[in-house]
Structures are given as C-alpha cells and as structure tokens.
Amino acid sequence: MDNIKITLETLYDMLRNEKKKEDLQKLDNSFFIDVVSYLREKKALLDLKNNSDELFAASEKDKVEYEMRSIKRILKELYEKREKKILDIAMNRSRTGSDIIDTSSMLREEKIFYDRLLKTLDFYRGGVLLNLFQGELPDINEGELKRTNIIREEKKPSSIPEQVKTDTFSKFEGAPIMSAEDEDTSSFSEKKVQPEKKKLLEELPKTSIRFIHPMPSFVWKDLKVYGPFDKGDKVDIFPEVADLLIRKGRAEKV
C-alpha cells in the first residue's frame, strides 16, 4: 500500500488544494504516470467484476463504476483549474514581458502548452497591437518568427543603458518606445516633451502605492524612467499607472 500514490482521496485533496490556492500547485513529475496506472487498475478490477459469477458482483461493479466516474470528474476539474491558471500566467507574461514568471510548478506537458500558448499570444500581440502602435494595419500573415522577434526586440543587447531600457509593460500601455538614438534620458525628455506639457504632467496628482512583487524599470508618458522596484517599495505615481499596476497584481494602494 505504501507504493500507492494516487487514490480517489488523494485526487480530491489535489483538486481542493488547487481550488483553494491562487498559484499553480506543485505536482509530482510522475503524476500522469501514476494516474494512468491507477485508472488501469480500476479498469482491470471492473473487468474482473463483469466476468464474475459471485452473488455480490453486481453491487461491487456499481461501486467501481461510481469510483471511475468520480475519478474522471475530479481529473477534469483539476485539469481545467490548472489550465486556467496556465492561461493567466501566459497572458501575464505576454502582456508584461516579465522575466520573473515562475513556471516551476508546471508538469512537462503543461510547460509545453505554456510555451506554445505564449508564442501564439506574442505572435498576435505583435501582429495586431504593435503594428497599430506603429501606425500600420494589423498583419498576422507574414510569419510567426518575424512577429516573435518584434515582441522580444527589447531583450536584444543594445547601446541603451540597462536602467533606461523599457519592458513590454510600458510598450503595451501607451508609453513611448525608446531606441538607441535616445540613449541620453535627459536629452530625450527635453527633446520630445514640450515644456508646457512636461510641467502639466508633473503637476498632476499622484497616487501612493506599495509594490507587492518586484517590477522592472519602465518609461511612462512623461518619458521619465521609473524603477526598478523591489517588493515593499513605496512610490507616488500617476493614478493611471497606479491603477494599472494594482490591476495587474504588482502593487497595492496605500
């Protein structure tokens, strides 16, 4: 009995834990193998009951059939719960470009699903949203590799100092995209922002927030570099930025 890793009870506990916790829960790497072995044992037992002439075979058969239905229901719920979490992780990764996304709790098959999903999300985000930002019509017919390269362009080495580089978060929320010619942050700001507009931006009311997750540096509409921020850092920032960070689960209002 010590070798039994999967039972109806352990499956139920896994489902309950997955429902209760917000993060994707860690499963044994052998989870799928263990589940298949368990199902095969139940199927063999059911076949045995079907071929039995014992007086109580019918009731035993009903019991095994009920267990099989319960196992499949739990597996379906568990799969769909984890599926939704992986979808959310992939969308968050594609939208923010964050390198701190944790995929360690994914099973091998789930990691393949996540990678393919992320690739698809990046492809369409690049083909539609980035083209719109560049004043072009959406284009999703020029090949996946090209779009993926556009999405990940900011990850290539460049002459921009590390503290000036922006992440995907800023690019997808209306912030300007910086290039190598804008290496000097101060001259870039003076060059691109009219003094009147800059003053108006500086006078806007700010919202106080506290970061609950690390946040890489980004450039906002005032063309100032914000961050990087560590967990627990407090900052006064534009309300629209604060709302966005709070909505994405990166910070909380204080």
CATH number where 201 lies: 3.40.5.50
**133 located within any domain:** no
Q: What is the pLDDT of residue 4?
A: 54
25 or 162, greater pLDDT: 25
- Choosing from 45, 66, 94, the residue where a domain stops is 94
Q: How many domains does the chain have?
A: 2
* Strands 218-219 and 225-226, bridge-based pairing: antiparallel
Compute the mean pLDDT over every residue in the chain, rounded to the nearest whole number.
75
Do 171 and 82 have their domain in common?
A: no
CA 219 to each of CA 163, 178, 185, 223: distance values in angstroms, whole numbers, following the listed order: 10, 9, 10, 5
**Listed range (39-53, 91-105, 135-149, 157-171) with the worst mean pLDDT:** 157-171
Residues 83 and 160 in one domain: no
User: Do 84 and 176 share a structural domain?
Assistant: no
Domain boundary residue, one of 94, 128, 143: 94
Asked if residue 226 belongs to a domain, the reply is yes
CB hemisphere CA count around 149 (13 angstroms)? 5
pLDDT tens-digit profile of 179-214? 333 333 333 333 444 555 455 556 667 889 999 988
Which domain range does residue 47 map to? Answer: 8-94
Q: Are residues 157 and 228 in the same domain?
A: yes
For residues 164 and 249, state if they share a domain.
yes
pLDDT at residue 100 is higher than 60: yes
Do 233 and 164 have their domain in common?
yes
Query: In this structure, is residue 192 part of a structural domain?
Result: yes
- Tell me if 62 is assigned to some domain: yes
Decide which of 224 and 235 is more confident.
Answer: 235
Q: What are phi and psi of 229, to 5 degrees?
A: -120, 145
| pLDDT beyond 80 at 171 | no
pLDDT tens column, 131-170: 888 888 888 875 444 444 444 444 444 333 333 333 434 3
pTM of this structure: 0.54
- Residue 108 is predicted with a pLDDT of 95
